[in-house]
Structure 1
């Protein structure tokens, strides 16, 4: 159970990033209705398609099992987006969840193409079980890039994830260039391994070779609640 002291620290932690966004001219909002989220992402012209694991037509997210963030500028135009969902892997692990395609489709037998496939060879993925928060669909409008937005969005994702679930792991899948350019470290992830998701989704026209990035639950807690508190 999260203590009152933890709640106070979580509140302060989240507020600090909300204030940092406001200083950059971005007003952040949280939501839990993923039908609404998809309507926002589809209306955002320069953002690529959202993967099926955040689309309710392919992978519904139950109440209390996910949230999303949108940031708008002074003209109320969308400037940043990201989403987080919880995977209950108490009887599985992340590698199995990805390779079965259940990470992307609630019912792979119904929605997956016969040639869809995912390989996860990152060693840590087989140890990721329990409550696993998956952080993805991040997008920053071009004119806000290079201004520290990843740190803000990562901080918000970590704070809200810890407040809602206190997960055993928080993770994401990213292209290698995001690691090379330091974007992943800006988000606040401490670890990465290659071959997190070698993915092909035919009907989605998705072909990826992504790295797995992650924090353990204890590392997440130490980010949000100062040690010794």
Structure 2
């Protein structure tokens, strides 16, 4: 299978494998693209930081076909996990310019931010990340579901759906240093990382971040799908 092109059936099997594993561990998923609904779900989650403007419909373009969210619920129907993804067409620019313009956060940065809002991207690779690019963020997993091997399953479902919808050139996330230090980025399947990917200041929201950039290329994601489908437990 390693020499074959990834097909829609392959991606369906890839998603299904992680969905089945997660159901066995007590989590069911809902996928949607109404971000008003998503914000109504996430704003009442105890222990989750507020959703950033990237996935707030009052701040960003999140129309159907460009973004989606995933919500995981336990057997009693309570929210145990959330994450969201959005696609940006960066064929005429690159990720560093996209982030520094604040268009990663706002549809109209000049009119929607305070005068001291800024973002600096010092990760060299961000200048090479371009094309159809997917941002993967707002990840949260409830404490009682941690330590059970969920990160690979949660990312696998997200990656598979992103591939099926957009076949992106890159998928990336922006994460705090502890995600790198504890090896969580690797658990999610990200193969590349650079520090200072987003030094973000949104003073009106009390946001001051210095996040790492982690990412996968299309070829790397293709390889990840193939390896998963070739693993004995998914045959």
Pairwise TM-score range, normalised by the shorter structure: over 0.9
State TM-score, norm by structure 2: 0.93
Task: Give structure 1 regions of 4+ aligned residues with deviation exceeding 4 angstroms.
Answer: none
Structure 1 contact 21–27 (Cα < 8 Å) conserved = yes
Residues matched between the structures, number:
226
Residue 186 of structure 1: aligned partner: 187
Residue 171 of structure 2: aligned partner: 170
Tell me, in whole angstroms, the C-alpha distance in 1 between the residues paired with 2:227 and 2:182.
Answer: 28
**Matched position secondary structure for 2:105:** coil
Residue 224 of structure 2: aligned partner: 223
Tell me, in whole angstroms, the C-alpha distance in 2 between the residues paired with 1:215 and 1:184.
Answer: 11
Tell me, in whole angstroms, the C-alpha distance in 2 between the residues paired with 1:156 and 1:21.
Answer: 10
Structure 2 contact 6–222 (Cα < 8 Å) conserved = no
Tell me, in whole angstroms, the C-alpha distance in 1 between the residues paired with 2:227 and 2:194.
Answer: 27
**Matched position secondary structure for 2:26:** coil
Residue 142 of structure 1: aligned partner: 143
Shift of 1:46: 1.8
2:85 is equivalent to residue 99 of structure 1 = no
Residue 37 of structure 1: aligned partner: 38
Structure 1 contact 35–56 (Cα < 8 Å) conserved = yes
**Matched position secondary structure for 1:10:** helix
Tell me, in whole angstroms, the C-alpha distance in 1 between the residues paired with 2:227 and 2:91.
Answer: 28
Which structure 2 residues correspond to residues 104-119 of structure 1 after superposition, within 5 A?
104-119=105-120
For structure 1, the residue ranges without an aligned partner over 5 or more in a row are: none
Residue 69 of structure 1: aligned partner: 70
Tell me, in whole angstroms, the C-alpha distance in 1 between the residues paired with 2:225 and 2:173.
Answer: 18
Shift of 1:102: 0.7
Q: Pairwise CA RMSD of aligned residues?
A: 1.7
Residue 233 of structure 2: aligned partner: none
Deviation digits for residues 170-204 of structure 1 (CA, Å, limit 9, x no counterpart): 00000111011011100000000001001110111
